Amino acid sequence: MNKRFIYLDHAASTPVDPQVVEAMLPYFNEIYGNASGLHRQARASAKAIDDSRQKVANLLGRSPREIIFTACGTESDNIAILGVAWAQRQAKRGNHLITSSIEHHAVGHTIEQLCEKFGFEQTIVAVDGHGLVDPNDVAAAIRPDTILISVMTANNEVGTIQPIAEIGAIAHVRGIPFHTDAVQAAGYESLLVDVLNVDLLAISGHKIYAPKGIGVLYGRKKIPLLPPFSGGSHENGRRPGTENVPYIVGIAKAMELIQAHQDEEKPRQTKLRDKLIQGVLQSIPNSQLSGHPTQRLANNASFVFGGCEADAILMHLDQVGIQASSGSACNSGMPTPSHVLIAMGISHYLALSALRLTLGKQTTAEDIDTVLEILPQLIWKVRKQGK
């Protein structure tokens, strides 16, 4: 991959891996049949989808029949939440959902909409100062009419990894479907859904070196889903629409590459991340790590500095060829502090100075050294300008 700058925004999006591009290419103009057809072209497309579904199923440790290809992580979360909510309402099982205060808007806003427009109710479980959900709080929030629990596997802004298997066990004892947004965790954490006690799990292609515009939803067979879209019987009747064969091949290849390289890549990035965190905390006065010190994604180093605005930090970094983000990509450009940092008890003032540096496959030790050389002076300058 061509490197003319230091890219530390992998939580926002990743470059497509050349091996993924190579796997996808034949499916644009050599094998292009509609997989629902009967001729050879169509059968070749159908076979590519079947093979891809099997690869994804292997990584999740389940049956290919439970893999649903979608258009993105947001869509996967929506189908899971809306699909369960409508099915549970139809079966008169209840109206109450439980989620956490640090979810991505793909989950948070979807549940909010169910409550505001369609009469559902939610309990939002608080997190501690590290962004961790306490499984006991989830247990305490359960009501006889609870129909879904949704807690993300790892947070996109601060990288905190949740005790998903414990929360899932609590949900399962009570017979409540459990959904997790694993968009950021995919690539770093195990996605074996039976170990995680998860019934529905969302993945996004562009966070794992596949293109933007493709996602996966794992949906356990026994969980009733009323899909929010109607149309054909694609994806076992759970997501209608002609399959995007090249992108499906791409996300499956990306997941295969994760499986093949995770054992070296995760410790490599963890080491670089720790060097970056220690270096920043030691060299920048009043800097503070956001998120859990150890229970965090291998690629996430997030800070608040105080006395400077995030956008000014990002602009100055960009001028010297370092690309980063102030939190979730969707929040950039808005002067409101991130709901995640506020939920963690970080003050409004500090939350406005958030910096998220997220590493990836092509991040090197030299990149980290360069950032550690530049960032202390840069923060000093931005703080001075802000006075």
Other CB atoms within a 10 A radius of the CB of residue 93 amount to: 19
Query: Residue 329 interacts with ligand PLP (CB under 6 A)?
Result: yes
Query: Residue 215 interacts with ligand PLP (CB under 6 A)?
Result: yes
Q: Check: CB of residue 221 under 8 Å from CB of residue 63.
A: yes
Residue 329 Cβ, how far from ligand PLP at the closest point, in Å? 6
Question: Is 115 part of the annotated catalytic residue set?
Answer: no
Residue 184 Cβ, how far from ligand PLP at the closest point, in Å? 5
If we measure between CA atoms, which residue out of 74, 373, 353, 52 comes closest to residue 228? Answer: 74
Give the burial class of 303: count Cβ atoms within 10 A of its Cβ; 0-12 exposed, 13-18 middle, 19 or more buried. buried
Query: Residue 101 interacts with ligand PLP (CB under 6 A)?
Result: no
Residues 54-73 that bind ligand PLP (CB under 6 A): 72-73
Binding mask 13-52 for ligand PLP (x = CB under 6 A): ----------------------------------------
Binding mask 129-158 for ligand PLP (x = CB under 6 A): -----------------------x---x--
Catalytic residue among 72, 115, 308, 330: 330
| CA atoms lying within 13 Å on the CB side of residue 75 | 18
Q: Check: CB of residue 168 under 8 Å from CB of residue 178.
A: yes
User: Residue 251 and residue 221: Cα distance in Å, rounded?
Assistant: 22
Residue 57 Cβ, how far from ligand PLP at the closest point, in Å? 20
Give the burial class of 212: count Cβ atoms within 10 A of its Cβ; 0-12 exposed, 13-18 middle, 19 or more buried. middle
What are the strands, taking DSSP E only, across the chain? 6-7, 67-70, 96-100, 121-125, 146-150, 178-181, 200-204, 215-219, 288-289, 300-304, 322-323, 354-358
SS3 category, 124: strand
Residue 212 Cβ, how far from ligand PLP at the closest point, in Å? 7
Pick 152 or 280: Cβ nearer ligand PLP: 152
Query: Residue 106 interacts with ligand PLP (CB under 6 A)?
Result: yes
Residue 386 Cβ, how far from ligand PLP at the closest point, in Å? 28
The type of residue at 133 is V
When binding is defined by CB under 6 A, the residue of 52, 162, 197, 204 that contacts ligand PLP is: 204
Contact residues: ligand PLP, CB under 6 A? 72-74, 77, 104, 106, 152, 156, 181, 183-184, 204, 206, 215, 328-329
Question: Annotated catalytic sites, by residue?
Answer: 330
